[in-house]
């Protein structure tokens, strides 16, 4: 039966960054937030106008679109000016933005192209700082608000093909803590959701993504968390029910992060590694 929602975000207004196509995690978050009664602006980089289908989501959720490059101060200023005009203040921000330029172009970690590396950090991590900074400067962020960004366990552990993105996520999670301390006095909370591998445009840009996806799925007791379940978790964190949670990296990964090895993987590896079995 379709979930009709619980009205968890009734009366709340926000901005959701990073919905590109239906597979985007932010797309599912927007649908869940709409289901729970929120109103929001959908924002993405101007190039997404040509690459994605945000207008479909905007129509479905009755939301305005604002095209803003999250690495541009001017773009973010005009976005928050629109948010002020539209809503007065916003209760939530969802940062679901990421891009690894060296990863996309198969540049090894030992040989990073530094301009691309800077761009990766700027898009995937510093943009969170920039967004919160401009929200504060425009005096748009309501007391008691909630900010969420999307991370990956590659921030803590080495997933070899994740390369520079591990650095970007480590910085992202550090920005969460640094702002969490400063926003706490106003009752504003900020958290990172560390999500399972998910089949999206950003996900499939990582070499070896299918292997990483399968590995996590076999190791996690609940299996990989999909975008729809991530969206449900996100709305709980945007709601008042979680008002005392801040500065955390919250694992939404079916239990993957607490595992070492599972029977399923031992059996798979035994098959592969036992010499002479297939002869
Ligand atoms: N897919 C996964 O396996 C996975 C796992 C854990 C975390 N995440 C994170 O989830 C978030 C969303 O990614 P996704 O998997 O839904 O992929 P996606 O490609 O659908 O979303 C990434 C978004 O970032 C936007 N973006 C890129 N550059 C931008 C810029 N300069 N300004 C504004 N927006 C920009 C893209 O247009 C796109 O909408 C990312 O932070 C990603 O790292 C993804």
Q: What's the pLDDT tens digit per position in 152-210?
A: 999 999 999 999 999 999 999 999 999 999 999 999 999 999 999 999 888 888 888 99
Q: How far apart are CA 190 and CA 76, in angstroms?
A: 19
CA separation for the pair 99, 202 (Å, rounded): 7
Question: pLDDT tens, 207-242?
Answer: 889 999 999 999 999 999 999 999 999 999 999 999
Ligand 1 pocket test: which of 15, 16, 18, 161 has the largest number of ligand atoms within 8 Å of its C-beta?
18
Number of H helices, E strands in the chain: 12, 7
Q: Is residue 7 part of a domain?
A: no
> Per the domain annotation, does 93 fall within a domain?
yes
pLDDT, mean over the chain:
95
- Ligand 1 in contact with 43 (CB < 6 A)? no
DSSP 8-state secondary structure symbol assigned to residue 126 = I
Would 4 be classed as within a structural domain? no
**Would the CB of 99 count as within 6 Å of ligand 1?**
yes
For residue 276, name the pLDDT band (cuts at 50, 70, 90). low
pLDDT at 205: 80
Q: What is the pLDDT of residue 230?
A: 98
The CB of 225 under 6 Å from ligand 1? The reply is: no
CATH number of the domain bearing residue 83: 3.40.50.720
Instruction: Look up tokens 């976005």; give the residue.
Output: 79
**Residue 15 bridge partners (DSSP):** 41, 93
Distance CA 161, CA 206 (A): 7
Residue from 20, 24, 98 whose mutation best tests the ligand 1 pocket (most atoms within 8 A of CB):
98
Q: Which of 162, 181, 233, 251 is catalytic?
A: 162
Please tell me the number of Cα atoms within 13 Å of 216 on its side-chain side. 25
Q: How confident is the model at residue 274 (pLDDT cuts 50, 70, 90)?
A: confident
Instruction: Indicate whether residue 197 lines ligand 1 (CB < 6 A).
Output: yes
Render pLDDT for 71-117 as a digit per residue (tens, 0 to 9). 999 999 999 999 999 999 999 999 999 999 999 999 999 999 999 99
Examine residue 79 and state whether it is found in any structural domain, yes or no. Answer: yes
Is 188 in contact with 146 (CB distance < 8 Å)?
A: yes
Report how far ligand 1's centroid is from the alpha carbon of 221 (Å). 26
Among residues 6, 114, 117, 152, the one annotated as catalytic is 152
Supply the pLDDT for residue 277.
56
Residue 1: per-residue pLDDT: 55
Structure tokens at 59: 């129509």
Tell me what the mean pLDDT of segment 116-126 comes to: 98
User: How close is the Cα of 272 to the center of ligand 1, in Å?
Assistant: 34
Whether residue 58 lies inside any domain: the answer is: yes
Q: How far apart are CA 151 and CA 173, in angstroms?
A: 7
Which residues on neighbouring strands pair with residue 67, listed in sequence order?
44
Residue nearest to atom 17 of ligand 1 (CA): 202
pLDDT interval class at 142 (50, 70, 90):
very high
* pLDDT (average), residues 51-57: 95
Start-end of H helices in 44-195: 48-51, 54-61, 73-87, 101-104, 114-121, 127-137, 164-183
**How far apart, in whole angstroms, are the C-alpha atoms of residue 45 and residue 71?**
9
Number of domains in the chain: 1
User: Quick one: which atom of ligand 1 is closest to the CA of 123?
Assistant: 31
- Tell whether 279 is covered by a domain: no
Q: Is residue 2 part of a domain?
A: no
pLDDT confidence bin for 3, thresholds 50/70/90: confident
pLDDT at residue 207 in the model: 81
Higher pLDDT, 264 or 233: 233
CA 40 to each of CA 14, 63, 161: distance values in angstroms, whole numbers, following the listed order: 5, 6, 35
Q: Which two tokens stand for residue 242?
A: 């979680």
Backbone angles phi, psi at 21, to 5 degrees: -135, 175
Question: Is residue 63 scored above 70 in pLDDT?
Answer: yes
Q: Is 162 a catalytic residue?
A: yes
Q: Which domain holds residue 152?
A: 13-273
What is the pLDDT at residue 97? 98
As a whole-number percent, the residues of the chain with pLDDT over 70 amount to 98
Tell me the pLDDT band of 275, cut-offs 50, 70 and 90.
confident
Q: Is residue 1 part of a domain?
A: no
Residues 6+ apart with CB under 8 A from 61: 30, 31, 33, 34, 40, 42
Which sign does the torsion angle of CA 152, 153, 154, 160 carry? negative
Task: Please tell me if the CB atom of residue 166 comes closer than 6 angstroms to any atom of ligand 1.
Answer: no
Q: Is 44 left (phi over 0), alpha (psi -120 to 50) or beta?
A: beta
- 24 CB within 6 A, ligand 1: yes
pLDDT confidence bin for 42, thresholds 50/70/90: very high
* Distance between first and last Cα of the chain: 50
């Amino acid at each position: 039966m379709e979930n009709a929602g619980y009205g968890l975000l009734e009366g709340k207004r926000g901005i959701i960054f990073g919905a590109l196509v239906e597979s985007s995690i932010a797309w599912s978050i927007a649908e869940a937030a709409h289901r729970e009664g929120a109103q929001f602006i959908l924002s993405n980089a101007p190039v997404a106008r040509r690459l994605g289908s945000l207008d479909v989501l905007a129509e479905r959720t009755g939301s305005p679109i604002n095209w803003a490059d999250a690495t541009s101060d001017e773009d973010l200023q005009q976005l928050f000016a629109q948010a002020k005009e539209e809503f007065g203040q916003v209760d939530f921000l969802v940062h679901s933005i990421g891009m690894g330029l060296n990863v996309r172009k198969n540049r090894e970690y030992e040989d990073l192209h530094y301009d691309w590396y800077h761009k990766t950090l700027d898009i995937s991590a510093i943009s969170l700082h920039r967004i919160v900074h401009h929200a504060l400067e425009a005096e748009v962020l309501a007391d008691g608000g909630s900010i969420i960004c999307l991370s990956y366990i590659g921030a803590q552990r080495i997933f070899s093909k994740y390369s520079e993105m591990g650095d970007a996520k480590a910085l992202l999670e550090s920005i969460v803590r640094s702002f969490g301390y400063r926003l706490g006095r106003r009752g504003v909370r900020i958290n990172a959701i560390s999500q399972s591998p998910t089949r999206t445009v950003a996900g499939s840009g990582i070499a070896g993504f299918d292997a990483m996806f399968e590995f996590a799925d076999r190791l996690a007791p609940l299996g990989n968390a999909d975008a729809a379940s991530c969206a449900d978790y996100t709305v709980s964190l945007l709601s008042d029910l979680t008002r005392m949670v801040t500065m955390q990296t919250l694992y939404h990964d079916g239990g993957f992060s607490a595992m070492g090895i599972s029977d399923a993987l031992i059996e798979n590896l035994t098959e592969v590694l036992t010499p002479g079995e297939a002869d």
